[in-house]
Amino acid sequence: MCLVSVARTGFFPGLVLSLAFSPAHAKAPYVPPADNAAWSRLTPREAGFDPALLEAAVQFAQANENPRPRDLALTGALERAREPYDAIVGPTQDRGGPAGLVLQGGRVVTTWGDIDRVDMTFSLTKSFLSTVVGLAVDRKKIPDVQERVARVLPKDVTARYFADDHNGAITWDHLLRQTSNWRGTLWDKPDWADRPVGDDPFKWPTLPVDAPGASWKYNDVRVNLLALAALHVWREPLPAVLKREVMDPIGASTSWRWHGYDNSWVEIDGKRVQSVSGGGHWGGGMFINAWDQARYGLLLLRRGHWGERRLWSEEWHRYAGTPTPQNTQYGVMNWFLNVDPANKELPSAPATAVVHLGNGANAVYVDPENDLVVVARWLKSDQLDAFIGRVLAARKGN
């Protein structure tokens, strides 16, 4: 059962639309142990799937591998061929083949491919970044998402990145929703050089920029600025925060790594610390296996609950799933939403579904209505909806 509610809270001023879901298993939801081998399993039929249709969905995923080279350094270079300042400055590695798993009620129903393999996740990293920012909000390190970023950061950081009237007006909400329109250069990457707009490259550096909050643009330079700002708020490496506050409590492995760039090192309280990236556009980002992605997806499905522990607040979860006015398909990074009938990420899925998405495709599909989590890796991006549609048809077809 799902509920769509309208709420206004003092915690997130200005928040009107929020999503609230009633968990399908309200009584003692299953929590997997840290040992993946001991993770409870159901047969497809026990989980309410038509076994033949589910197997056909898995075969579809395996047959629709992303056709681009598995050498991700080469793939990245080809994808960025139009961009200046396109040098790779973070780690990359060759990827594996199609892989994934399906969870029903938290239990494993089926798997395919090498789900133990640690691979890049590209912009799915942004979902982890939004999580550590949400934890900072919960702990009042960031007093309000509508607060201007410049008012929270140390003066030297503000002077370097948020000094003028344009950048000084940027809020945490703007950065989280990719509506900041920040102007500047970070880690030797100018903001205009990331997915530049227009056909005349000589105009790119001087094109007008909208005011903060006026428009939406997917921009990794600005995402990396959010990561840097969050680092200065936490005063410790963001991977350490994520490990302590989320990944260890949910029983994730120790094989995941969250990387930054060769030149993204800063000094925090006398210590040299790397500011991580929000994706793999120039290398770096989250490297992780499918098991750990599934644990994170299950935590998202349970709205921050893991057994008797609450890892983030209900208010943060509602805010993260609220559509961005300038792009109703987008919540906070990288929550892709289905609530707007005219702008669905996955037309085959329920309105309450959310997919956490990175290039590849790397997808963690979270479906509260069906108590379902699906991890899919290295699937053609334009076939993700067709795959999810097949999984849902297999569930309904039994």
> 47-94: per-residue pLDDT in tens?
999 999 999 999 999 999 999 999 999 999 999 999 999 999 999 999
3-state secondary structure of 192: helix
pLDDT(357) > 80: yes
% of the chain beyond a pLDDT of 90: 92
pLDDT digits over 235-247, tens only? 999 999 999 999 9
Half-sphere exposure (Cβ direction) of 389: Cα atoms closer than 13 Å: 9
pLDDT at res. 151: 96
Average pLDDT over residues 208-222: 97
Beta pairing, strands 257-268 & 335-337: unpaired
Separation of alpha carbons 286 and 238, rounded Å:
11
The amino acid that residue 65 corresponds to is: E
Neighbours of 329 (CB within 10 A): 18
pLDDT at res. 2: 36
Q: What distance, in Å, lies between the first and last C-alpha atoms of the chain?
A: 19
pLDDT(14) > 50: no
- 17 — pLDDT class (breaks 50, 70, 90): very low
In this predicted structure, which of 11-20, 67-76, 152-161, 170-179 has the lowest mean pLDDT? 11-20
Distances (CA, A) of 289 to 101, 115, 119, 152, 228: 11, 6, 6, 34, 25
Separation of alpha carbons 339 and 344, rounded Å:
7
Neighbours of 188 (CB within 10 A): 14
Q: Please return the burial class of 147, using the count of CB atoms within 10 Å of its CB with bins 0-12, 13-18 and 19+.
A: middle
Q: Please return the burial class of 100, using the count of CB atoms within 10 Å of its CB with bins 0-12, 13-18 and 19+.
A: buried
pLDDT digits over 283-337, tens only? 999 999 999 999 999 999 999 999 999 999 999 999 999 999 999 999 999 999 9
Beta pairing, strands 354-358 & 335-337: antiparallel
Average pLDDT over residues 178-206: 96
Q: Which residue from 93, 89, 63 is spatially nearest to 75, judged by alpha carbons?
A: 93
Q: Among 3.40.710, 3.30.200, 1.20.144, 1.10.1400, name the CATH number for the domain at 32-117+287-396.
A: 3.40.710
Give me the residue spans of the domains in the chain.
Answer: 32-117+287-396, 127-276
pLDDT(396) > 90: no
pLDDT digits over 335-344, tens only? 999 999 999 9
Q: Which residue from 295, 335, 311 is spatially nearest to 241, judged by alpha carbons?
A: 311
* Widest CA span in the chain: 61
Q: Which residue from 117, 119, 109, 88 is spatially nearest to 79, judged by alpha carbons?
A: 88
Separation of alpha carbons 19 and 22, rounded Å:
10
Question: Cβ(183)–Cβ(166) under 8 Å?
Answer: yes
Average pLDDT over residues 102-106: 98
Q: Which residue from 57, 92, 47, 58 is spatially nearest to 279, judged by alpha carbons?
A: 92
The residue ranking higher by pLDDT, 353 or 28, is 353
Question: Cβ(258)–Cβ(238) under 8 Å?
Answer: yes
pLDDT(8) > 50: no
pLDDT digits over 248-283, tens only? 999 999 999 999 999 999 999 999 999 999 999 999
288-327 burial, b if ≥16 CB within 10 A, otherwise e? Answer: bbbbbbbbbbbbbbbbbbbeeeebbbebbbbbbbbbbeeb
pLDDT(372) > 80: yes
Residue 210 in tokens: 């909208």
Beta pairing, strands 2-6 & 17-21: antiparallel
Q: Which residue from 214, 315, 226 is spatially nearest to 275, judged by alpha carbons?
A: 226
The amino acid that residue 316 corresponds to is: W
pLDDT(3) > 80: no
Average pLDDT over residues 115-135: 98
- With the C-alpha atoms ordered 102, 287, 256, 63, is the resulting torsion angle positive or negative? positive
State in words which class domain 127-276 has: alpha beta
pLDDT digits over 140-163, tens only? 999 999 999 999 999 999 999 999
User: What average pLDDT does the chain have?
Assistant: 93
In this predicted structure, which of 6-10, 144-148, 211-215 has the lowest mean pLDDT? 6-10
Same fold, 32-117+287-396 and 127-276: yes
Distances (CA, A) of 11 to 137, 319, 333: 9, 10, 19
